[in-house]
Chain A
Amino acid sequence: MERKPKNIFTQGAIDPAFIAESIAKHSTKTDIGGHSIFLGQVRADVIDDKKVAAIEYTAYEELALEKMHIIREEIFSKYELTCMHVHHSLGKVAAGEICLFVFTSSAHRRAAIDACNEVVERIKTELPVWGKELFEDETHQWKVNR
């Protein structure tokens, strides 16, 4: 049976309480020896004297979820992971708030750390998601990933 791609998108910022809860849920999985977590936070960049107040994310959701499904399968075949969770914001996320949460777990640390890094890099380069940087004066520019 073909598995339906999991939804990774959350409207607005990712609540730190949700992240804490997500960590707590793993206490029953006692084969895990290490977790690796990446949290993306919206930065208040200053560009030409204008400060970024928030980023507004949009995505080609259907394609992004299909692509994430492929990335997930490839990561699981490459690394000895126990589990992996990915959450990405859509809509407006204010500076200082969390917009990306990647969480990998494995029996031994190395797999979790390497898989987490690779997933973050692949999310940035392969998922059809766009960030619009909204300035305090209500003008905007389109974010460019580095």
Chain B
Amino acid sequence: MITVLFFGKLAEIAGAKAELQAVASTDELLEQLRLQYPALAAEKYIVAVDKKTITGNTSLTDHCTVALLPPFSGG
């Protein structure tokens, strides 16, 4: 099971948390999410796997936590 966390505006689109079964990579996961939540396609975000931001496709193992982070706006 892969846990997906959504933050900021993305949490309004997809909810704060989702759980997905049997996804092998972040590309596959994002593809599934875009099918499920078409509004995600228009959003900007970076992806973190187990709290490390990634730049390219990354393979996932069971119990991974993937976070979708829209542009930061703290302070």
By a beta-carbon cutoff of 8 Å, the part of chain A in contact with chain B is 40, 57-60, 62-64, 66, 88, 99-100, 120, 123-132, 142-145
* A127 and B74 within 8 A (CB): yes
Distance in Å: Cβ of A26 to nearest Cβ of chain B? 23
A60 touches B73 (CB 8 A): no
Which of B1-39 touch A at CB < 8 Å?
5, 7-9, 11
B69 closest partner in A (C-beta): A128
Number of interface residues of B (CB under 8 A): 15
Consensus secondary structure, chain A interface = mixed
B residues whose Cβ falls under 8 Å from a Cβ of A = 5, 7-9, 11, 48, 51, 67, 69-75
In the complex, the answer to whether B73 meets A129 with C-beta atoms within 8 Å is yes
Shortest Cβ gap from B53 to chain A (Å): 9
Q: Which of A62, A63, A66, A130 contacts B73 (CB 8 A)?
A: A130
Counting chain A CB atoms within 10 Å of each CB, which of B5, B7, B9, B75 scores highest? B75
Contact B73–A131 (Cβ < 8 Å): yes
Contact, CB under 8 Å: A66 / B51 = yes
Name the distance in Å between B54's Cβ and chain A's nearest Cβ.
13
Are B51 and A63 in contact (CB-based, < 8 A)?
yes
Complex CA–CA separation, A91 to B8 (angstroms)? 12
